[in-house]
Amino acid sequence: MTLKKRIYLVITGAIVFILTAPVILLVANGYRYDFGQNRIIKTGTLVVRSAPRDAVVTLNHDGVSATTPVTKRFLLPGRYEITITKDGYRPWHKSLTISEGLVTFVPKRDAQVPLILSSTVTTLISTTTRDLLDSGNGVFALDQNAIWSLSSSAPSRQAILSTTTLLQATGLAAYQLDGLGEPNFLLEGSASGWHLRGSSFNPVESDQNRFLDATQVVGLLPTGELLRTNGTESLALDAAVLGFSVNGGQIYYLKQSEDGTVGFWRVDGDGQKFPILPSLPEYASSQIIFADDNKIFLLSDRRLFSMENGTLSSLSTGVDSAQWEPELKNFILVRGREISLFDPVRKEDALVYQASANLDGAVYNQTTNFIFATEGKSIIAVEVDALERPNIYVLEQTQSPNPKFVVNEDGSRLYYLDGANLKGLQIR
Kindly give the confidence (pLDDT) of every residue in the chain, 428 residues in length, as a single tens digit, with 9 standing for 90 and above: 676 666 655 566 556 545 544 544 444 445 555 556 555 678 899 999 999 999 999 998 776 666 899 999 888 899 999 999 999 999 999 999 999 989 999 998 889 999 999 988 899 999 999 999 998 888 999 999 999 999 988 888 999 888 888 888 999 999 988 877 788 999 998 877 889 887 788 888 888 899 998 789 999 998 999 999 988 888 999 999 999 999 988 999 999 988 888 999 999 888 899 999 988 887 888 899 999 988 999 999 999 999 988 889 999 999 999 999 999 999 999 999 999 999 999 999 999 999 999 999 999 999 999 999 999 999 999 999 978 899 999 999 999 999 999 999 999 999 999 999 999 999 99
Residue 292 DSSP SS3: helix
Q: Please give the angle made by the CA atoms of 167, 173 and 175, to the nearest 5 degrees.
A: 100
Q: Which residues contact 387 (CB under 8 A, 6 or more apart)?
A: 350
- 10-22 residues labelled b (16+ CB within 10 A) or e (exposed): eeeeeeeeeeeee
The number of residues making up the chain comes to 428
Among residues 229, 272, 234, the alpha carbon closest in space to that of 250 is found at: 272
Inter-residue contact 142 to 169 (CB < 8 Å): yes
Per-residue CA distances from 322 to 23, 288, 300, 333 (Å): 56, 10, 11, 5
CATH assignment, 43-114: 2.60.40.1120
How far is 62 from 373, CA to CA, in rounded Å? 34
